[in-house]
Structure 1
Amino acid sequence: MTKTDPSTTAPERVRKFYALKDIAVAPENMRFGEPADEDVPQLAATIKAAGLLQPLTVRPGRRKEKPAMALDGRRRLLALEILLTAGDIDGDYAVEVFEETDPARQAAAVLLTNTAVPVHVADVIVSIGKMLKAKLTPSVIAAALGYAEVDVRRLAALSALPAKAISALRQGRLNLRQAKLLARLPDRGAQTELAEVALSGHGFPEWRVNELLDEGAITARDRRFALVGAQAYAEAGGRTVCDLFGERADVLLDAEVLQELWTKRAEALADALRSEGLAVQVTADPAPAAADDLEPFGYAYGFGLDEAQLRAWRDAGAAAREAGEALQAVDLSAAGAEAPLQAWLLARLAADRLSEPTRPITAAVLTPHGDTGLDVVFLGPPAPEPEADGETEEPADGRLSTPALRFDPEPEVVAVAVAVPAETDGVGHALHEVRTDTATRALVRALADDPTTALVALTARLFAVLVLRRGLAKGGGALTVSAEAYSRPRAPAIEVLDGEVRRRLADRRAAWETSGKTPIGWVAGLAHGEKMALLAELVALSLDLREERTTSLRHTARAEAAEIATLCAADVTLYWTPDETFLRPHSKPQLLAMLENMGAGVERARALKKDELVGLVAEEAAARVWAPAWLSWSAPDEDPDEGLAAGDAAELEAPGETDGAVAPAAPEELAA
């Protein structure tokens, strides 16, 4: 490839002389109208001693302008005027210049030959605005400056901002991102009002601008769009508005077209479930209300399943997960996506059916989902409450004891230990109390001297109470130890956290059922390591640190939780990072604060709607293996509820006015 010498292709620069009185600073000059800086007098002394070594760059004057208008050389011209005022030279002093008549070269001279003062982005914006007024097209300006045309168009959009907004940008009261946000507002009066607020030092209310821009807007991040796709939406007549600055999601102007396309596609996919005899509801509501006589199939643990059923259920769950993972490689909006989507729905149905074989699935609800295009919840009649054993009665404090673990009734054959016959003949109540009291105290001493047996007794008692739900009432067991498995109304387990513990206990219950032993006998037969693991699972599931109100903090429980977390080196990110279910109740400022704390930045997030922001935080947290420190009962670095104030993101620093080579803002910096 032959290299071209620029000197052989560039047009020769025209050198001319103009009288000092016939030269003025061009309006498009970067520093037009600014006073002389403190170093200009020194420059004047240098010119007086050595003459003007570097010619000015000018263009011919227009209309009422002077014959030569300086595009570059403002400070040299100011220095010459100092010499003129001092009487060292007169108005006829010959000033050597390069005269540019080509519009593209004039544009280049404004930005690329300015060697006096570093360029502020506000000056670039103003200069491009003046070039446009001088009938230079964006393509001509872009070619002259070496910028992409889209960057020039973006700067041109900013040049249309009110003068107060440009002034606030120059003074650092607005950063470039906020100026772009302001430029998106169609109402010039609102632009001026917000610029005045920023210029007066009261900050820039980004939340207000975002609300105005987001009001009623549906973007390409809408959960329905994943299933519809841009092509189908456009072919159906849907209109899209793209963000000029490329920072906000495309806005979909025809919501009814999007809804119609999504519903039509979801209804077609739902036919696979209808063929299974289910009543299917298709709705865009992310949290549809279930029928009063139906309950959703939540996270299952395999309670009550025999070995073959448990194996079949686990295989079906693995198949459903594989089908869901396969969708990540599929264009959900393409015509060929129906088969894998329906296969995934049927795999989900099979897994839920096998999780509770005695409970039929009669209905399903399909809703949008950003990743898989669809989400499905299966419903059926409520499961029967397990029958309590004969020794169980309502607690004395009147609270209803609701099992946190769902399981089928106990097997018909349950091992029962042989009790020592009570001697009641001729024994009154008072004497019987004395005898059993003394026997209790004797066993207390014996058990206290035998830690191994105590471990067996405690573990068996917790297993009977938490898993088997036996012996809950007074007199239901030898030990008075009681416990409740942690649960929260209408909130399913988190699969990799307490869901894993509940699954382990489900497996242990199945092992106990097949052993034919009493709980104590079964625990006693376990290896020591198994005993300790079972005890840890039972103790863990008895934890309850939930607080329903911020005014009802349980300080003692919190202190104990911190101690326990320190002892076991608790770190929630070993198993889980914040998901959408956890993040959705948080406010937008709190979500932005999470992004800031994890080091993900908030630039592109501020413009997102709440639903989109939740997905972004979940994605970034998973990528960085991050969760708030307080979820692991550690002291947070910052207040997790403290939102980000407007303008907290780093602002573009304006370089000071110093002599030396210019560093004009690069296109990627201007578009950032």
Structure 2
Amino acid sequence: MTAKFETVLDHGAVVEIPLNKLKKSPKNVRKVPHSPGEIEARATSIAAKGVLQPLVVEPEFDEAGEPTGFYLVTIGEGRRLAQCLRASRKEIRKTEPVRCVIDTLNDAAEISLDENISRTDMHPADQFEAFRDLGERKGWGPEEIGARFGVSAPVVRQRLRLGAVSPKLLAIYREDGLTLDQLMAFGVTEDHARQEQVFEQLSFNRSPHLIRRAMTEAKVPADDRRVVFVGAEAYAEAGGVILRDLFTEDRGGWLEDVALLDRLVLEKLVALATQLREAEGWKWAQAHLDYPTGHGLTTRVYPRRIERTAEDEASIAALSEAYDALTEQWGEVEDLPPDVEAKLAEMDAELQAYGDGYGFDPDEIARGGVFVVLGHDGQARIERGWVRAEDLPPPVEAEGAEDDASPGMAPAGAVEGAAEDGEDDEAEDELAPLSDRLIADLTAHRTAGLRDALAENPDVALLCVVHALTLRTFYPACAPATCLDLRSASTGLGQYAPEIEDTRASRAIDQRHEAWARQMPEDPREVWALVTTLDGDSRQSLLAHCVGVSVNAVRAWERRPAALAHADQLAQAVSLDMGSYWTPTEHSYFGRVTKARIGEAVREAVSDEAAARIASLKKPEMAQAAEQLVVGTGWLPPLLRAAAALVEGGSAEAVPQGEADLADAEAAPAIAAE
């Protein structure tokens, strides 16, 4: 029975002592004080359930040996501080009675030490299951449980998730067969069957990263380009489930319904394609998740400069001047007045309506189409101007073709000196068409003269090369309007690497090509005038682009040892750094080679020890582990490394990389992919 407070000295007495009559005992062995968080949690718990265990105290005496009326807390200092915190918040009175047990027999320091040593914390798994039981049996949510135990709601959610892990794995955790980090990795999902399946498939390497990756391998991470495009909110509104990892930074979690996500992406792309076709008038528009490398279209048109009327030019100039003036006037003001902001928006919309001065010909729009593709960054990639073979216009006969046959060129089969039927002998005195043989003879001499003269004029020769390659690059479907017998082609790389169209290199090439295509005249016979009017730097840039797109260093089925050797020399000349274009990942490399190749890569990039650690893993896990180990090291497969350095005279100190790899492949037996 608990007695009311009075000066009590009897050992073992249980008494209610006012809070303001309790002090910390100097004999308390706990010297490191309780943290504010611990005191806060204890106060919250006491507010919900009261003080469940009485404090152990001893009377305080003055120097004369007389009781002071205060009591020193030997056991329960944390509870005293929690009640003091509640009193400071006006939740309780300073004189709130606290149930205490008087101890005048035992040594205060000894029982304080015993209190802190002779106890065993409950196993974390028991705590996890107890929290889960409260949630299921009493229907309490994380906030309610947290409020009653002084624990934050996120921590409660974590413990509830751990309590929901498969009982089989919790039993293994209790027996120290799993660490807490490993258990948390399994807790990324509540699917017991999947948890147990992944556990059975684990080898000695049970790193939390590999477990978490295995648990989510069939799901889509929230930073995937498809999720960025559609939006996690739209996916959730459509009934999709998002899996969240409560224990690590999951960057938004994982989307479980991949089919639903793909459907939403395609629907949005199709809607955008339809909108473009209707708004711009294209004959067709197609939507694709990935770039359609096998579309079979080889002809593409690009926008060209639009000739504006003088009125439009004047309107644009006046509008731009007014916009700049208004912007300068209010440039120092952070928060623009609504009317000024509206005026600027209106003027900007008018300027945008005029466009950038480039556009497609209406006939090209009527024949052509648009691809709407999901880009690597989660944004829609719009590729306009593709024309199907059946939609190509019939070839237009060059103007004056009939006139060219006379007098300078005779039709096929013409006989020198022959006169038209019905004409009299007076026709013999007129100029007659030349024979084919004579025409060929004369023009052969002219060709020889051009060759020699051009060889003596490097500047004009360079113009001719730029002109010829420009025609081949930008007018592949037209007869080349050049007298140079130069050939160039651009081999499509999508047939070898399906995802290459959305890489950094391909995007840069496409942007450069479109920028030049915008400047090309519609009539290829006018390209010479364009090339001759370019400044030197622009002409060299155009030449570099045309030469660049003709490079073919693909090692596929045909044998081209000399070409591959030149590719290595070219890589040396341009200081090619493939590390800035390509990264070894499970998808791009490790998952596509043998375990021996994976081990070789890890040995070269990291160490022999790292390769040995993952050697016994199954191939999928080994490929995943290799990606994590190699990331950031700069390692590249031999085929992508820099070629051997060239010595004086242009020869290589070592066999070029392409040749060396080819020789190795032929000399060594193939290793079957696992």
With the length of structure 2 as denominator, give the TM-score of the two structures. 0.42
Rg larger in structure: 2
With the length of structure 1 as denominator, give the TM-score of the two structures. 0.43
